[in-house]
Structure 1
Amino acid sequence: MSDDRVPDKLDCGRSVEELSAYLEAGRQPYDRDIETCPDCLNAIESLQRVGQLSRDLVAEDAALLPAPPQSWFEGIFSAIHSELRAGRSIPITHPDPRVSITLAEGAVRSLLRSVGDSLDGVFIGRTEIVGDAEIPGAPVQVVLTATIGWGQSIPDVSETLRVKVFEALERHTELNVTAVDVIVEDIHGYTPKDER
């Protein structure tokens, strides 16, 4: 189960605030330690997504609806913030028994977010891998919370997201995913990409 507490530091020792300041400075001066650290890069990618999300929501919701409740946006940011830790190590098989390869749970969560980003008007909130992901072949369930754009079909978007998550996990991991549950938590102001 995921930990609801927001970490002060990533597993590599850097704080989210430190990475946010580095990002705001345009990633200058170049910091090789940050730019070669998977935890830092995952966190920077999440911070960039949140920044883009906030800009998009302000522009779209200002024109269509009253400003979204602060708790909704804070909920997404808090979920991303709490998931920045590397988490469990998910094994990947290799033909050489002397070789051990693992995939960080945080990388899988980043993959799940990228699937949501590929769908117009969809924003992923919480992601959770339920089950013994560290045991090869053990059944796991993926639970996602999402917000979708006003006017979109909740059943259609949920099913599309569910199918794309299954496909991405099958392509990029060896997890034995028995179910993908999508929970739509909110609806936000939305302008389709082709109308922007």
Structure 2
Amino acid sequence: MSKNPETLSCGRTLDQLSDYLDAGRQPADPYIDTCAECQAALHALEQLNALTSELVDQDSREQSEADADWLGSIFSNIAFEARSGRSIPIDPVLPEAAGPGDELSQTEGAVISLIRAAGDELDNAMIGRCRLEGDVTEPGAEIRVDIRVTALWGAPLQRLAKELRRKIYAALALHTQLTISGIDIAIIDIQRAEELGDDNQ
């Protein structure tokens, strides 16, 4: 798989993280293992590896270039989203949860990782671009989730979008205080999965 040397704000690159995965996370790197940005990127890279391992190898130069463009866009989005991004304020559920003057928050990158994790539960889809549209720094502001999805060939697209939307809504309701006004899902690509035992086609 070609790699894009995108750099996270912590200084690690996707090349380094990809190599770390290829080595089975050995020898252990204490920084990578405790860095939230690295962990978010590693999680996305693992899903990308799982998906691309199922895709059919194409011999044509045109298809290879298309695959390279697709993978490049995925890598760029992984690096962009793993960065911390905006700080999203959180009101403590219990007054004693925060001390005087404390301000609780979660990062935009953490929320996007949460959305990706919800998408990981579906075997026939890969979330590419994912953005939170709206002012997440303003408590109660309406936020729309905008995602681009690659689906595997043969997946029922309407059912896929409906199930993905349901999982994302549930995850955001459970783990964030964002006011989600809508989730926009665009299926922008379909990749053919390998059909085992059908090599002659």
Please, what TM-score do these two structures have when normalized by structure 1?
0.82
The corresponding residue for 1:40 is 38
Asked if residue 104 in structure 1 is aligned to residue 102 in structure 2, the reply is: no
Instruction: Extract structure 1 runs of 4+ deviating beyond 3 A.
Output: none
What value does the CA root-mean-square deviation take over the aligned residues?
2.4
Offset of residue 183 of structure 1: 0.5
- Indicate if the aligned counterparts of 2:6 and 2:76 stay in contact, CA closer than 8 A: no
Please state how far the C-alpha of 1:179 moved relative to its aligned partner: 0.7
Equivalent residues of 1:42, 1:84 under 8 A apart: yes
Contact between 1:129 and 1:141, CA under 8 Å: does it hold in 2? Answer: yes
- 1:72 Cα deviation from its structure 2 partner: 2.5
Cα deviation, 1:76-95, whole Å, max 9, x if unaligned, reads 23322332211111122112
Gap change, CA 1:26 and 1:112, over 3 Å in 2: same
> Given the alignment, which residue of 76, 86, 96 partners 1:78?
76
Offset at residue 28 of structure 1 (A): 2.0
Check if 1:135 corresponds to 2:138. yes
Q: 1:7 to 1:92 in 2, by over 3 A?
A: farther
How far did 1:19 drift? 2.4
CA distance in 2, matches of 1:170, 1:191: 36
168, 183, 187: which is aligned to 1:184?
Answer: 187
Question: Could you say which structure has the larger radius of gyration?
Answer: 2
- Tell me which residue corresponds to 1:118: 121
Tell me the alpha carbon deviations over residues 146-166 of structure 1, each in whole angstroms, 9 at most, x when there is no partner.
022222222221122112111
- Amino acid corresponding to residue 148 of structure 1 in structure 2: A
Going from structure 1 to structure 2, the CA distance change for 1:120 and 1:9 (only over 3 Å counts) comes to closer
Identity of aligned residues (%): 39
Partner of 1:51: 49
Where in structure 1 are there 5+ consecutive unaligned residues? 1-5
Q: Contact between 1:147 and 1:187, CA under 8 Å: does it hold in 2?
A: yes
Contact 2:7 2:79 in 1 (8 A): no
SS at 1:155 equivalent = helix
- Whole-Å separation in 2 of the counterparts to 1:184 and 1:41: 26
Kindly tell me: are residues 20 and 188 of structure 1, through their superposed partners in 2, closer, same or farther at Cα, counting changes over 3 Å?
Answer: closer
Measure the CA separation in 2 of the matches of 1:108 and 1:119.
Answer: 18
- Structure 2: 5+ residue runs without aligned partners? 196-201
C-alpha contact (below 8 Å) 2:142/2:180 kept by paired residues: yes
TM-score norm. by structure 2 comes to 0.80
- The one-letter amino acid paired with 1:170 is A
